[in-house]
Amino acid sequence: MTHFDILIRNGQIYDGSGAAPEHQDIGIKNGVIEAIGALSGHSANETIDASGKIVTPGFIDVHTHYDGQATWDQHLAPSSNLGTTTVVMGNCGVGFAPCRNTDHEVLIQLMEGVEEIPETAMNEGLPWDWESFPEFLDSLDRKPRDIDVAALYPHGPLRVFVMGERAVNREPATAEDIKAMQALLAEGMAAGAVGFSTSRTLVHRSSDGSLIPTYKAATQELKALGKTLSGEQGHVFQLISDWDDPADEFSILEDTCKATGAKGTFTLLQLDNQPELWREQLSMVEAAQTRGLDIRGQVLSRPVGMMMGMPSSMNPFYRRPTYLALSDLPVEERLDRLTDPETKAAILGESNINPHIFVKIFNDKYNKMYPMVDPIEYLPEPTDSVQARADAEGKDPQSWLYDYLLGNAGTNLIYIPAANYADGIPELLQHPHTVAALGDGGAHVGSICDASANLYLITKWVKQKAKIELSQGIRMLTQQPAELYSLNDRGMIKVGLKADINVIDLEALKLKTPHIVQDLPAGGKRFLQNADGLELTVVAGDVIYREGRATGALPGKLIRRQTAGQ
């Protein structure tokens, strides 16, 4: 008879492979799955009755931005509290290493602008006990946390470290610059980075509105840096782009994969202004796969959705001079002033001063704005838009929106499905060469809370719409992302693998509406989200959450590439 640390009994096990579930017990010992089967004759320190529940591997999210939060926070919510047990951060070419002491503010402004993390939180929270990327990994290694983290080497900090002000000004890299970047990148790969990331999109800007250092970096530069990766070590090249020249952009990933055997991955969304681009991208992926090049699109299980209002970090009026002049008033006095007809008229007649790119794009697109309901509806009907509501009442949509945002003591929010608001999401998710991702946990903390997209895949496309079969949905959240990053010790419920496990009441599983908290360093605010039905999350054999409450266990580790692919 074996004595386990944890024994999970009577659960319906979805093992992550996509196979049909089986009713079995799971015995966990020393952080790994030691036995699966009928284990009624065995004992354990803790026995968990999973009768009527499903048991899955822990979810793996390969597109997050916890680069800052992982240095100051032991709990990587809103991911760890929603069943995610492993995250990959450092995506989209932004991060905090390497970094000279004199460049701290440059990277803070970059992260504030691109990923919308408050500058005050970063200035207070970041320990800056590193300069090089290996030192950054060592810093992460020293911090106890609830779940495992892996880090990509980001292009932005690398370029600034080597080129200084020339990188900020987006000047071309010289041959000497590229050689220096290659050397540093090789050093980071040897220290345990899981790959390299870059951004080539206009949407990503520094906090002052300027374009990021990596925007339009020469294709030649990126291909040269890509040669530093290694397929044998399971490295991944991650890219986000505007795809102005799809063939040229895709060639960056193709040439890297062909030269090194590394994998490539990129952001793949359905966009209103490029409605056929996603099909073109999938065609390129399919062609590359037939040539043995492992390139995959990252897709989100729902629209990329922003939440705006007075409590959030931005709204369509937040940078207008009269509105800004009232920002420091106590909430009740501010609301009273904002409801004054003369104040309203002044604000409606003004324009925002240097607003975030999200507000620039959607400032007056009232047909894209939806009053946020509880529970939140991520695929709202067009008839529920601000434009439709205002038209029905015979009002100007800007005036209607202003009044709406002041409702409920100024707590009302609007939801803007900015991209991926389309019918093809299940098709994208089920494509053989895509991976469910793009939750952006740790980023856009005051306007986006998409880290729950993993559970949404189950609640929407499995439970509500029956577009995806449950065993396949679980595989999309576990084995598929693990395989992309060669995390061969996790992603499935299998003897000998890491004991990262969720116990879920599928009938009760439901996402709650995001809510604002002020728990960032310096009192910064962010959206968090909870869920019903997620009964238990285990990481390396330790229970980290029970029914949405953290247990205090901190078994999370830094995944270093040279030890991740055993």
Output 215 or 256, whichever has higher pLDDT.
256
The three-class DSSP label of residue 473 is: helix
Can you give the pLDDT at residue 344?
Answer: 98
- On whether both 267 and 350 belong to a single domain, the answer is no
How far apart are the C-alpha atoms of 349 and 345, rounded to whole Å? 6
Classify residue 459: in a domain, yes or no.
no
- On whether both 263 and 142 belong to a single domain, the answer is yes
Classify residue 458: in a domain, yes or no.
no
pLDDT digits (tens, 9 = 90+) for 37-78: 999 989 999 999 999 999 999 999 999 999 999 999 999 999
Classify residue 151: in a domain, yes or no.
yes
The three-class DSSP label of residue 445 is: coil
Classify residue 487: in a domain, yes or no.
no
Can you give the pLDDT at residue 244?
Answer: 87
pLDDT digits (tens, 9 = 90+) for 371-401: 999 999 999 999 999 999 999 999 999 999 9
- On whether both 377 and 435 belong to a single domain, the answer is no
The pairing of strands 534-539 and 501-504 is antiparallel
- On whether both 132 and 189 belong to a single domain, the answer is yes
- On whether both 232 and 116 belong to a single domain, the answer is yes
Can you give the pLDDT at residue 205?
Answer: 64
- On whether both 403 and 424 belong to a single domain, the answer is no
Classify residue 253: in a domain, yes or no.
yes
| Res 211 pLDDT > 70 | no
Can you give the pLDDT at residue 357?
Answer: 85
pLDDT digits (tens, 9 = 90+) for 481-509: 999 999 999 999 999 999 999 999 999 99
- What is the pTM (predicted TM-score) of this model? 0.95
Domain boundary among 394, 417, 440: 417
- On whether both 298 and 351 belong to a single domain, the answer is no
Which domain covers residue 225, as residue numbers?
59-302+420-448
Classify residue 317: in a domain, yes or no.
yes
Neighbours of 525 (CB within 10 A): 16
List phi, psi (to 5°) of 59.
-75, 150
Mean pLDDT in the chain? 95
The CATH number given to whatever domain includes residue 176 is 3.20.20.140
Which residue has tokens 């993390």?
Answer: 117
Classify residue 169: in a domain, yes or no.
yes
How far apart are the C-alpha atoms of 428 and 480, rounded to whole Å? 14
Q: In the chain, how many domains are there?
A: 2
- On whether both 297 and 378 belong to a single domain, the answer is no
Residue 112: pLDDT band (50, 70, 90) is confident
Residue 202: pLDDT band (50, 70, 90) is low
- On whether both 107 and 244 belong to a single domain, the answer is yes
- On whether both 190 and 210 belong to a single domain, the answer is yes
- On whether both 139 and 224 belong to a single domain, the answer is yes
pLDDT digits (tens, 9 = 90+) for 158-192: 999 999 999 888 889 999 999 999 999 999 999 99
Classify residue 500: in a domain, yes or no.
no
Domain boundary among 448, 468, 492: 448
447: tokens are: 């306007």
How far apart are the C-alpha atoms of 32 and 154, rounded to whole Å? 32
- On whether both 278 and 333 belong to a single domain, the answer is no
What's the CA angle centered on 195, arms 104 and 297, to 5 degrees? 110
Q: Find the farthest-apart pair of alpha carbons in the chain and give their distance in angstroms, rounded.
A: 79
CB 561 within 8 A of CB 193: yes
The rounded percent of the chain whose pLDDT value lies above 70 is: 97
How far apart are the C-alpha atoms of 54 and 423, rounded to whole Å? 28
How far apart are the C-alpha atoms of 96 and 128, rounded to whole Å? 9
